[in-house]
């Protein structure tokens, strides 16, 4: 196999093949009369015939049936097929196979640069490959392509999760504290469910018995509560939510803070600024971090970053909003701070990120009003 793009990144190729990096038999190779470009608007490259051009890449030797099946699975969902080519290697000309887009509608952008891709996308794409390959061989590869944006977002969340956090009262997690025996992904669509068989260190230092647990996977999310210190008012949004509907709640429209999933390559701060415009037509200024938290750590991987954002909530703010392309139907309300707290007390606000943000604002409101 001749690789010219992301699979030249050894950690990624290792995940796809299920081999250690040391076991990869790779040699430098050149493919004539082709050029590689970024796929326009995407995080991966495409190759096309260009007379006189040369592509520098790598050849993988020893591609047995299992390796070919894993590579076909990884590439197959994205409209890439295999072509026969001749490449130049240190040992002479060799026949090889190369993955090329087939009727994908992709357009070439600027010239491809592996180092640039590695710096921005290498780590997150490598982690994403782990989730993609959990579906091998039974899941249709097209499912991976359809949900790849969410797979990348979850991989980015795993990278953010590595940041050290305090362990002054709780037990610190040390290397070797958790021994995993098996991992599977029995459900995968926009969201996913993973199951684990593992054991962990107990508080007395002994090992727990083997246990089976499942986790519901989303990406990280971020929320913002717009607050106008001069008017002492906040902006709340209202929309239909399937959670209350599925529970059988008497009220299925929910009052919330502005929220959105953190896209791959995006910071939580950028997420809330983008979502404020999309959902309510509001530009937020200075952001005040509220808390970062797991809303349901016993079952969900979701981690939420919440903020209060200063904004000018003049008389023209509010009304209907949301992105029609995402099926959003959102109504924005500007209410006084005291009115918002009354809605918490009566239970009309039952959304945890909004409640936490309002309680944080209650504690810091006078400071914000004085500094404004």
56, 88, 194, 326: which one is catalytic? 326
**Residue with tokens 């004085």, as numbered in its chain:** 370
Give the span between the Cα atoms of 3 and 9, in whole angstroms.
10
Residues 52, 170: Cα–Cα separation, whole Å: 63
Rounded alpha-carbon distances, angstroms, from residue 212 to 111, 132, 181, 197, 294: 47, 22, 10, 5, 21
CA atoms of 194 and 192, how far apart (whole Å)? 7
Q: Identify whether 366 is a catalytic site residue.
A: no
At 121, phi and psi to the nearest 5?
-120, -10
Which residues are part of the catalytic machinery?
326
């Amino acid at each position: 196999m001749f690789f010219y793009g992301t699979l030249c990144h050894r950690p990624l190729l290792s995940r796809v093949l299920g081999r250690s990096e040391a076991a990869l038999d790779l040699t430098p190779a050149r493919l004539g009369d082709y050029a590689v470009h970024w796929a326009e608007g995407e995080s991966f490259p495409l190759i096309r015939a260009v007379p006189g051009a040369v592509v520098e890449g790598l050849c993988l030797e020893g591609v047995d049936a299992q390796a070919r099946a894993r590579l076909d699975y990884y590439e197959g969902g994205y409209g890439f097929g295999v072509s026969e080519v001749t490449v130049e290697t240190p040992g002479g000309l060799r026949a090889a196979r190369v993955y090329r887009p087939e009727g994908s509608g992709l357009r070439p952008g600027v010239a491809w640069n592996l180092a640039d891709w590695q710096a921005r996308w290498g780590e997150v794409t490598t982690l994403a490959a782990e989730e993609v390959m959990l579906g091998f061989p039974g899941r249709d590869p097209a499912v991976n392509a359809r949900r790849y944006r969410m797979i990348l977002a979850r991989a980015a969340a795993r990278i953010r999760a590595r940041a050290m956090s305090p362990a002054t009262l709780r037990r610190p997690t040390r290397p070797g504290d958790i021994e995993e025996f098996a991992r599977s992904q029995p459900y995968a669509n926009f969201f996913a469910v993973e199951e684990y068989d593992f054991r962990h260190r107990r508080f007395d230092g002994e090992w727990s018995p083997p246990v089976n647990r499942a986790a519901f996977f989303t990406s990280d999310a971020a929320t913002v509560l717009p607050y106008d210190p001069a008017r002492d008012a906040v902006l709340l949004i209202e929309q239909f939510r399937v959670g209350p509907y599925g529970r059988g709640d008497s009220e299925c429209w929910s009052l919330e803070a502005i929220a959105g999933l953190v896209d791959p390559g995006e910071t939580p701060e950028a997420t809330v600024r983008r979502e404020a415009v999309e959902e309510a037509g509001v530009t937020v200024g200075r952001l005040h971090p509220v808390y970062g938290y797991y809303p349901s750590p016993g079952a969900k991987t979701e981690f939420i970053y919440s903020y209060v954002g200063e904004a000018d909530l003049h008389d023209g703010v509010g009304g209907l909003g949301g992105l029609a392309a995402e099926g959003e139907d959102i109504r924005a309300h500007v209410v006084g701070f005291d009115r918002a707290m009354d809605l918490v007390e009566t239970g009309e606000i039952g959304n945890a990120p909004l409640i936490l943000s309002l309680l944080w604002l209650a504690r810091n409101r006078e400071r914000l009003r004085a500094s404004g």
